[in-house]
């Protein structure tokens, strides 16, 4: 049995009646990473927030989402809050939005962990320090006493990964976790996500438009366009034997971009050697 299943998921805007995601069905296998790819506006993030029941109130949804066989759609808001964080954990695109700007990041961590675990303040602090060091965050105590705006995007992303290491959720949903970061920070966050899977054995849903990152992390790929799933399959098949023209276009664009970048770097090396 898959750990998570979306069955005939539909999302629409109550104000305009516009259907944004239409009849999507997919599953996440235990211990695997499913990537959701597609251009902006294809419904990737809406789908992920629907799984967590975190879309805006005017974004209505139908169908079902089942976690370990249990329907998340039938849970009360209070019951759903108990699932979020401890069992279903989300790493958002903009780290600044994940933390309360009016308090230091350590308060956010302590409140989240105290909500789900019967740990005292000392236990929480020790676990957070250990996790933060493991994701290469220096001076953990000093960092926990800083406000979100005092930390870089890469630091905030790694802070969210450190929290995941402490919580050890069964499913992690990473929604465009590297989009707002510079190239070096992107590389570091990708490496930490890989290590996170290795350490916790969690299942993961990764939303990204970067096929290079997808190929490095994911086991399976789900391709979305205009709110619909157009293709899905294992990584090797999608990259070498894709059937849908849109998937073929995405893969070809990625290969062309990589080839162009490689050519530029070769030219720079040649010029530097003269």
Model confidence pLDDT, tens digit, residues 207-257: 988 888 888 899 999 999 999 999 999 998 888 888 888 888 888 876 554
Residue from 151, 68, 165 nearest 112 by CA: 165
Instruction: Look at 26-40, 134-148, 214-228, 258-272 and tell me which has the smallest mean pLDDT.
Output: 258-272
* 149-185 per-position pLDDT tens digit: 999 888 898 898 899 999 999 999 999 888 777 777 7
| Banded model confidence at residue 261, pLDDT cuts 50, 70, 90 | very low
Mean pLDDT (the chain, rounded): 88
| Banded model confidence at residue 50, pLDDT cuts 50, 70, 90 | very high
Residues 6+ apart with CB under 8 A from 7: 25, 63, 64, 65, 66
Residue from 97, 119, 83 nearest 180 by CA: 97
Measure the CA–CA gap between 185 and 67, rounded to whole angstroms.
32
Q: Which long-range contacts (CB under 8 A, 24 or more apart) does 51-57 make?
A: 51/4, 51/6, 51/88, 51/173, 51/205, 52/84, 52/88, 52/90, 52/173, 53/80, 54/84, 54/90, 55/11
Domain range 4-273, its CATH number among 3.30.365.10, 3.20.20.120, 3.30.70.260, 3.40.50.300: 3.40.50.300
- The predicted pLDDT at position 191 comes to 87
Calculate the CA 231 to chain-centre distance.
20
Measure the CA–CA gap between 140 and 156, rounded to whole angstroms.
12
* Token pair recorded at residue 164: 């995941």
Q: Is the pLDDT of residue 40 over 80?
A: yes
Domain boundaries, the chain: 4-273
Measure the CA–CA gap between 127 and 118, rounded to whole angstroms.
13
Residues 20, 43 contacting (CB under 8 angstroms): yes
């Amino acid at each position: 049995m898959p750990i998570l299943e979306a069955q005939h998921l539909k999302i629409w805007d109550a104000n305009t009646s516009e259907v944004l995601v239409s009849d999507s069905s997919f599953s996440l296998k235990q211990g695997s990473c499913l990537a959701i790819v597609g251009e902006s506006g294809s419904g990737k993030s809406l789908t992920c927030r629907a799984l967590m029941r975190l879309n805006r109130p005017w974004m209505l949804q139908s169908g079902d989402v089942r976690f370990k066989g249990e329907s998340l759609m039938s849970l009360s808001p209070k019951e759903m809050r108990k699932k979020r964080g401890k069992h279903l954990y989300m790493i958002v695109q903009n780290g600044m939005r994940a933390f309360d700007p009016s308090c230091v990041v350590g308060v956010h961590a302590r409140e989240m962990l105290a909500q789900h675990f019967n740990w005292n303040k000392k236990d929480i602090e020790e676990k957070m320090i250990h996790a933060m060091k493991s994701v290469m965050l220096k001076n953990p105590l000093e960092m926990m006493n800083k406000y979100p705006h005092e930390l870089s995007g890469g630091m905030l992303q790694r802070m969210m990964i450190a929290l995941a290491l402490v919580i050890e959720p069964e499913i992690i949903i990473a929604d465009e976790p590297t989009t707002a970061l510079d190239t070096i920070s992107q590389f570091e966050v990708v490496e930490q996500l890989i290590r996170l899977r290795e350490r916790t054995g969690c299942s993961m849903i990764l939303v990204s438009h970067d096929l290079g990152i997808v190929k490095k992390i994911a086991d399976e790929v789900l391709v979305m366009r205009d709110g619909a799933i157009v293709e899905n399959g294992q990584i090797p098949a999608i990259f070498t034997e894709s059937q849908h023209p849109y998937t073929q276009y995405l893969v070809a664009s990625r290969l062309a971009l990589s080839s162009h970048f490689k050519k530029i770097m070769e030219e720079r090396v040649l010029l530097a050697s003269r």
